[in-house]
Structure 1
Amino acid sequence: MDKMVNSVKVSADAGFVMHLRPVRRLFPHPCRVSAIGHIPEKRQWIDRVFPSINISFILQGEGLYTFRDRQWPVLAPCAITQWPGEPVRYGPHETWEELYVIYDADCVAELGHRRLVRPDRPVWYLRDGADLREGLHELQDLRQALDTPGCADRIDRLLERLTLESRLGEAHPEQDRRAAAVRALRAQVERDFLKPLNLPALAGEAGFSEVTFRRQWKRLVGVSPHHYMTRLRVRHACRLLVETHESVADIARACAFPDPLYFSRVFRQVAGMTATAYRRTHRLPE
C-alpha cells in the first residue's frame, strides 16, 4: 500500500523538490505526478536520456533545446519536454528559472491521448507566464501540507491544469515583437558592453517604456540589464587578468570600472574571489 511521506521544506529562493510517487492518492488520477522541482537559477546544461516523460516550464530566461536532431530556441515563458529513452540536450545561455514535472513512462499514452504532450511538438511558447507563476505559488503552499489527505490529488490536478493552460495560451516566438526587440538589444549589449550604453533610451527607440523593457528583459534573459552588462565586463576582466601583465587598476578602467575599489567589490561578487587571487589561480605558467 502507498504510504504518506513528508516533503523536504526549503526556502522558495533555494527552490524545492517533491517526490510524490509514494504519496497515497484518495482519488487516483491516470497521470500521477512522480516528482516536481523548482530551480530559480538553473545554470547547468542537460545532455542525457531520461527514463520518464517530463515537462519543464521555463518561467524566465532563454537558451537552447535539441531533440531528434532539431534545435529550438528556449524563450520564456515556454515549455520543453523530455521523452523516455530519447536523447535530449538543453540549457540556458546564462540562467533560467525552471519548474519541472516528472511522470512515469507509462503515462506517455494517457498524456498524448489528452493532447497535453506531442513528440512532434516538444516545445511550445506561451503568450504570458501569469498562470505558471500563480501555479508555482499554489505549489509552494501545497508542499507545506503534503501530509494532508488529498494534497497529492490536488497537485496532480494542478499540474494537469497548468499544462492545459500552457497549451491554450500558446504563442509563436517569432510573432512576439517584444521578444525580438529584447533579443536585438541584448545582442547590442554583447557587442558594446564596454561602452556607456543608455539602455532605457535604447528601449524607448524600440517602443518600450522603461518598466516594460526591464520586465521583458528579465523574463527573457533572467537577470537585470545592469547585472548582465556587469557580468560581461567582469568576464572580460578575467581574460585580461590571465592574458596580460596589466595592473588590476588598469584592467578595471579598461573594463569600464573607473573606481578600482568598486571594481574589486563587484569582481569578488561575480567571480567568487579577488582579482589578484583569480590571476594567481588561473594564469598559465610562462
Structure 2
Amino acid sequence: MSQPSAWPLPSGSSRVVMPLELIELLAQHPLTRHLYPLAYGHYLAAQGHQVERQHHTDHLLIFCHQGRGHYRILTPQGPVTGTLEAGQLLLLPAGFPHSYQASATDPWSIYWAHYSGSSAASSMDFLGLSASTEAPRFVLTLQAWQSLLPIVTTLLNLQHQRWQRHNAVIAATLLQQLLAQLPQLAEQAQQHHGFDLLALERFMQDNSHRDLDLQDLAAVAGLSRYHFAKKFKTVTGTSPMRYFNELKIKLACRQLDTSTATVRAIAQNLGFDDPYYFSRLFKKVMGVAPSDYRDSHQPHSPHSQLHQSQP
C-alpha cells in the first residue's frame, strides 16, 4: 500500500494505520472486502505537509475543510495541476503518480483516507469523476459537508480503542457510509449555486486567452454581478476572478510542461498583457516562478519524475 507520511503531527491531528492482519481480514470479510480503509487521519493547519509518489497502489481521498493546498497528477493525457480549496474533495486513484502540498501561506486542514477493495476502482465513477477522459476530473465540491462530521468523528475515535476484528469492520462500514453520501452532497452543491459550474468552467477554458471580467462571467450564469459572486464564493470557496486566474495558471503549467514557448508568450496566450503580473500571479498560486517550475518539470530535468516518498 502507499504508506502514509511520517509528517510530524501537530496538536489535535491524528494518523491511523490499520494493522496488516486486520487489512487481510477486511480484504476477505463479506461486509468489507469491496471497500475498506488502509489508513486515515486528520491534519490540522498542516504547515509544510508535502508528498510525492511515483508509485501509488491504493486510492486516496483528501478533503480540505480549511485553508488550501496544491496537487499535480500525471495522467496519460499529461499532468493535471490544481488548487484544493476548503469544501473540496480530491480523489487520487491507484496507478497515478502524483504530488500534493499544503499552501505555504494558508496551509490546509484535511481529512484523508487511503482505501482499497474489489470495488475501490469503481469509486471514481460512483462519485462522477474520471481519470481517463480528455478532461480528467479529480475534484468534487461538497455542500453541507459538516453533516458528515459525526461519522468522521466516530471513525477517528476508533483509534483510542484496542484494534480488534469488530472495530476494523466498523471502520470499513463507516468509510463506506461516508463515500455513499458524497454524491448527494456534490449534487446539492450544484443545485445550490443556481448555475452550471461545469458549463462555466468550459466557458472559462474556451476563453482562457481573454481578459474576462466579473460581468462577463455573471452574464454566462444569467445573474447580476453581486449574486453571481456571492453564489460562486459559497460553492467554490473562492471568488470568480481568482478561480478564473487559477484555471489560467493550470493551463500555463500544462504549456510549461509540454512546450518550449517563452514565459512571455504563454502569458500573452492566456490573456496577460503584463508578463511580470503573470509571473507574480503564477508564483502566488504555485509557490515558484514560471521559469523555476519549468526547470523542475521538463523531461530532461532530474526533478521531472516524481520520487516516491513517505506520504
The normalised TM-score by structure 2 is 0.48
RMSD (Å) for aligned C-alpha atoms: 3.3
Determine the structure 1 residue equivalent to 2:232.
176
The structure 1 residue matched to 2:137, chosen from 121, 130, 134, is 121
Amino acid of the residue matched to residue 159 of structure 2?
Answer: R
Q: What are the superposed Cα offsets for residues 239-278 of structure 1, whole Å, 9 maximum, x if unpaired? A: xxxxxxxxxxxxxxxxxxxxxxxxxxxxxxxxxxxxxxxx
Determine the structure 2 residue equivalent to 1:44.
49
Distance 1:66-1:181 versus aligned 2 partners, 3 A rule: same
Determine the structure 2 residue equivalent to 1:83.
93
Q: What are the superposed Cα offsets for residues 14-65 of structure 1, whole Å, 9 maximum, x if unpaired? A: 3222325421456541112122122223232323232221111222211222
Counterpart contact for 1:131–1:165, Cα < 8 Å: no
Using CA pairs under 8 Å that are at least 6 residues apart, name the structure with larger relative contact order, 1 or 2.
Answer: 2
List gaps (5 residues or longer) in structure 2. 1-8, 198-230, 243-311
1:41 is paired with a residue of what secondary structure? coil
Q: Does 1:143 align with 2:159?
A: yes
Counterpart contact for 2:93–2:121, Cα < 8 Å: no
Q: What are the superposed Cα offsets for residues 60-95 of structure 1, whole Å, 9 maximum, x if unpaired? A: 211222223222331112211222221222222231
Determine the structure 1 residue equivalent to 2:247.
none
Counterpart contact for 1:84–1:105, Cα < 8 Å: no
Determine the structure 1 residue equivalent to 2:65.
59
Identity %: 16
Counterpart contact for 2:127–2:182, Cα < 8 Å: no
Counterpart contact for 2:57–2:94, Cα < 8 Å: yes
The structure 2 residue matched to 1:155, chosen from 150, 155, 171, is 171
Aligned runs of 1:152-231 on 2, under 5 Å?
152-170=168-186, 171=189, 176-178=232-234, 179-181=237-239
Distance 1:18-1:116 versus aligned 2 partners, 3 A rule: farther
For residues 182 and 38 of structure 1, what CA distance do their matches in structure 2 show? 29
- The size of the alignment, in residue pairs, is 176
Determine the structure 1 residue equivalent to 2:115.
103
* 75-84 or 101-110, larger mean C-alpha shift: 101-110
Counterpart contact for 1:64–1:74, Cα < 8 Å: yes
Distance 1:147-1:91 versus aligned 2 partners, 3 A rule: closer
Counterpart contact for 1:55–1:100, Cα < 8 Å: yes
